[in-house]
Amino acid sequence: MIALLRVLVVVIIAVFMFIFGCGYCLFSPRNPKHVYTFGRMFARMSRIFGVKIDLRLPENALQQAQSIYIANHQSNWDMFTVSAAVTPKVVTVGKKSLAWLPLFGQLYWLTGNILIDRANKTKAKGTIDQVVDNIKNSDVSVWMFPEGTRSRGRGLLPFKVGAFHAAIAAGVPVVPIVCSSTDHLKLNRWNNGHIIVEMMAPIPTQGMQKEDVRRLAKECHRVMKDKLESLDQEVLMLNQGRGSVPN
């Protein structure tokens, strides 16, 4: 019953948001400021699911220089959790098929995000070039999910190297963002406890060449894996202390 009630509330809010959002974005289509606006809106909806988000950002996060942001990709919960860390002038990179999802896909495109065809390696390579061009020719940063697919409770999956190719080619740092595990969240439970979303210190790419791509990817994977394990332990103790133990 709780799950049904939540789904109904979220559907009603989401449909209104998508319709209003598409109309609003038509006044300035493909403007990256919209990603920040709607990312924060989705994050606020986490309260409907009984999730308390502890967002940890560096002091200068909202004024940070151009970067490639990378985050762990777990499930559809990402829309309501890790989206809290979206900062101004950031666009994301998603699958081309997203554009065909009713309402959400149109809003995703209108807000200025980049769509790629992962089934076509030639087009995927072109997308990396497009990411680099966007960074060099504008003041936007780009958010990517280097795992390339949802982990669904399997921890941090191996990284694909596209994001790191783009960071080195554009000469910008990589900023890891880690969201504690969400596989314990349940629609049918009133209180789902805490989720921690943390933006880590930038990892510089200055002086790196193509030969350094895999080393950079491994370093980012290591620090994010360690951080994920640390956050999961913290969340476990926090939820136990408040009487909300994931099971």
pLDDT at position 124? 57
pLDDT at position 247? 52
178 CB-near residues (< 8 Å, 6+ apart): 71, 72, 197, 198, 200, 224, 227, 228, 231
194-199/174-179 β-pairing? antiparallel
For the full predicted model, state whether its pTM sits above 0.85. yes
Joined tokens for residue 73:
């990709």
- Using CA atoms, how far residue 156 sits from 32, 41, 103, 173, in Å, is 28, 26, 30, 21
- Orientation of helix 162-170 relative to helix 121-136, angle to 10°: 30
Give the class (CATH, top level) of 2-240.
alpha beta
Q: Express each pLDDT in 9-67 by its tens digit.
A: 999 999 999 999 999 999 999 999 999 999 999 999 999 999 999 999 999 898 889 99
pLDDT at position 240? 81
Q: Average per-residue pLDDT in the chain?
A: 91
Nearest to 186 by CA among 107, 108, 100, 75: 75
CA distance 169 to 105: 29
DSSP for 144-207 reads E-TT-S--TTS-SPPPPSHHHHHHHHHT--EEEEEE---TT--TT-S---EEEEEE---B--TT
CA distance 35 to 37: 6
pLDDT at position 120? 57
In residues, how long is the chain?
247
List, in sequence order, every residue forming a beta bridge with 177; answer none if it has no partner.
Answer: 71, 199
Domain spans, the chain: 2-240
How many other β-carbons are positioned within 10 Å of the β-carbon of residue 245? 11
